[in-house]
Amino acid sequence: MTTKRREFLQAVGAAGAAAALPGCATMGGSSGKVVVVGGGYGGATAAKYIRMWSDGGIDVTLVEPNPEFISCPLSNLVLGGSKTLAGITVSYDNLARRHGVKIVKDMATSIDTDKRMVKLAGGGELPYDRLVLSPGIDFMFDKVPSLNNADAQAKVLHAWKAGPQTVALRNQLAAMRDGGVYVLSIPVAPYRCPPGPYERACQVAWYFKQAKPRSKVLILDGNGDVTSKGPLFKKAWAEEYKGIVEYRANHVLTDVDVATLTAKFEVQDSVKADVLNVVPPQRASAIARSAGVVTTNDRWCDVDFLTFESVKVKNVHVLGDSIQIAPGMPKSGHMANQHAKVCAAAVVALLAGQAPNPTPVLTNTCYSFITDKDVVHVCSVHQYDREKKTLVAVPGAGGVSPAMSEIEGLYAFAWATSIWADTLA
Ligand SMILES: Cc1cc2nc3c(=O)[nH]c(=O)nc-3n(C[C@H](O)[C@H](O)[C@H](O)COP(=O)(O)OP(=O)(O)OC[C@H]3O[C@@H](n4cnc5c(N)ncnc54)[C@H](O)[C@@H]3O)c2cc1C
């Protein structure tokens, strides 16, 4: 067994991932240039696996402006106070050192898909044979007009991209008086990480229970009901956080009053907060528009699920939160990692003149922290259906926790450590 093959098998095992692979782990004979835009869960994984599975034959350049990877998964624990930002930050160094990925610390500003060229904010240009876009999401601030400027966004935070806003929201919560109200506005689905807002409510409630017991968490959900793990979250709010968390459905946010921290809704009365946290509606990140791959509702990118190549633009693959999801598929880091492996295998095969695997299978597990230790999960398996030409959830192959438990807390931390290693080590 070659070292590369052994490394690959270990990596797949470590992530518990059953992403679709071609018949062999590496494919000698693949060559060419791949540019990956975005070093998050999708892009970093794709960059590493294309290098590994082509036995170093494909030249891979990863474009990412951030100096380090900061994980959204576990970032709600920073709000609760049981984790720090440093504890969810991972270096990009191993991608370059161990895998030979060329890392360019820059922002892609436009894509010329005819010339197959990526233009960078710093003035450089990168040619490609195949382009992989995993740029995540942009916020549709035009749907919350008063938030459509930098000053307002510095006061009413989203903290829906882990980083400085996560720390700033934690500071707002720490500065809030005991007896204050934290209001969390959730957009209508689809949005990044369906259970994430409800986990956030639990983490803030956990913090209030320890440090500010007279304070309240008010969830104002644009959806008609909790969109993921509903019975488990509702049980936690009724029991663990009785008298702290209140949930209200059907609250579609139309605007905010930034000066008074007031949220305004389509139908319901306005609500004033002490800390107002708005998760705005989302769409594929701007660079996807430049590449011309946004196809659904002027928001998301449709892909061929055998390769994750855009249905509209040849040689451009799109991963992660930017895509128009298949039925039952969440916008999650685990899913982005799985998209990346299917795409990496396909890119390696295509650049070697071979057909991609016709039957990919992807898995997903999303853990949610109810307290600092007690966790619940939802998991699913998604298999390619040749007739429907999409990925479908395999009946009976997934499920949810019967109840929160500390053992699942250990699994959740192990999941995070494994997927960070699988993506970046
Ligand atoms: C609070 C919270 C909790 C979550 N918890 C979980 C969880 O427990 N489990 C789970 O699986 N998922 C979770 N998620 C969801 C997960 O974070 C996302 O689904 C995942 O990050 C999507 O991966 P991605 O590659 O599409 O985007 P990202 O990981 O966001 O990566 C996009 C990258 O692209 C870069 N980029 C953007 N535009 C450009 C450009 N023009 N040029 C260069 N680079 C660019 C960005 O800097 C960024 O690094 C959570 C999300 C949140 C907000």
pLDDT by residue (tens digit) across 309-345?
999 999 999 999 999 999 999 999 999 999 999 999 9
Q: Burial code of 239-253, b = ≥16 C-beta within 10 A, e = fewer?
A: ebbeebbebeeebbb
**Ligand 1 centre distance from Cα of residue 136 (Å):** 5
Q: What is the pLDDT of residue 9?
A: 35
The residue contributing the CA closest to ligand 1 atom 25 is: 42
> Does the beta carbon of 57 lie inside 6 Å of ligand 1?
no
Beta strands in 137-222 (DSSP E): 137-139, 181-186, 216-221
Give the amino acid at 304: D
Q: What is the pLDDT of residue 382?
A: 97
The residue whose two tokens read 């890392």 is: 103
Give the nearest ligand 1 atom to 412 CA: 8
Q: How far is CA 34 from CA 46, 48, 304, in A?
A: 10, 11, 18
Q: What is the pLDDT of residue 30?
A: 83
Question: With a threshold of 0.85, does the pTM exceed it?
Answer: yes
- 380 strand-pairing partners: 364
The residue contributing the CA closest to ligand 1 atom 20 is: 333
Cis, bond preceding 197 (omega within 30 deg of 0): no
For the sheet with 108-112, list strands across it. Answer: 108-112, 117-120, 125-127
Give the amino acid at 93: D
> Does the beta carbon of 75 lie inside 6 Å of ligand 1?
yes
Q: What is the pLDDT of residue 29?
A: 76
User: Quick one: pLDDT band at residue 263, thresholds 50, 70, 90?
Assistant: very high
User: Quick one: pLDDT band at residue 307, thresholds 50, 70, 90?
Assistant: very high
Summarize the confidence of residues 224-244 as an average pLDDT.
98
pLDDT tens-digit series, residues 129-170? 999 999 999 999 999 999 999 999 999 999 999 999 999 999
Give the nearest ligand 1 atom to 71 CA: 17
Mean pLDDT (the chain, rounded): 94
> Does the beta carbon of 65 lie inside 6 Å of ligand 1?
yes
Measure the CA angle with vertex 67, ends 195 and 98; round to 5°. Answer: 95
**Ligand 1 centre distance from Cα of residue 323 (Å):** 12
Structure tokens at 322: 């930017």
> Does the beta carbon of 42 lie inside 6 Å of ligand 1?
yes
Summarize the confidence of residues 31-53 as an average pLDDT.
97
**Ligand 1 centre distance from Cα of residue 280 (Å):** 15
User: Quick one: pLDDT band at residue 4, thresholds 50, 70, 90?
Assistant: very low
> Does the beta carbon of 43 lie inside 6 Å of ligand 1?
yes
Give the amino acid at 344: A
Q: Is 361 helix (H, G, I), strand (E, B) or coil?
A: strand
**Ligand 1 centre distance from Cα of residue 137 (Å):** 7
Q: Are 300 and 116 in contact (CB under 8 A)?
A: no
Is residue 354 predicted with pLDDT exceeding 60?
A: yes
- 390 strand-pairing partners: 385
Indicate the pairing of strand 68-70 with strand 89-91: antiparallel
The residue contributing the CA closest to ligand 1 atom 23 is: 41
The residue contributing the CA closest to ligand 1 atom 17 is: 72
Is residue 17 predicted with pLDDT exceeding 70?
A: no
Summarize the confidence of residues 61-85 as an average pLDDT.
98
User: Quick one: pLDDT band at residue 97, thresholds 50, 70, 90?
Assistant: very high
Number of residues written out for the chain? 425
Is residue 8 predicted with pLDDT exceeding 50?
A: no
Q: Which of 85, 192, 362 to mutate to test the pocket of ligand 1 (most atoms within 8 A of CB)?
A: 192
The residue whose two tokens read 């701007």 is: 286
Is residue 6 predicted with pLDDT exceeding 50?
A: no
Q: What is the pLDDT of residue 27?
A: 67
Of residues 10 and 221, more confidently modeled:
221
> Does the beta carbon of 107 lie inside 6 Å of ligand 1?
yes
Neighbours of 309 (CB within 10 A): 24
Mention every residue, 6+ apart, whose C-beta is less than 8 A from residue 62.
Answer: 36, 39, 43, 44, 47, 92, 95, 101, 102, 103, 104
What backbone phi and psi angles, to 5 degrees, belong to 23? -60, -30
End-to-end CA distance of the chain: 20
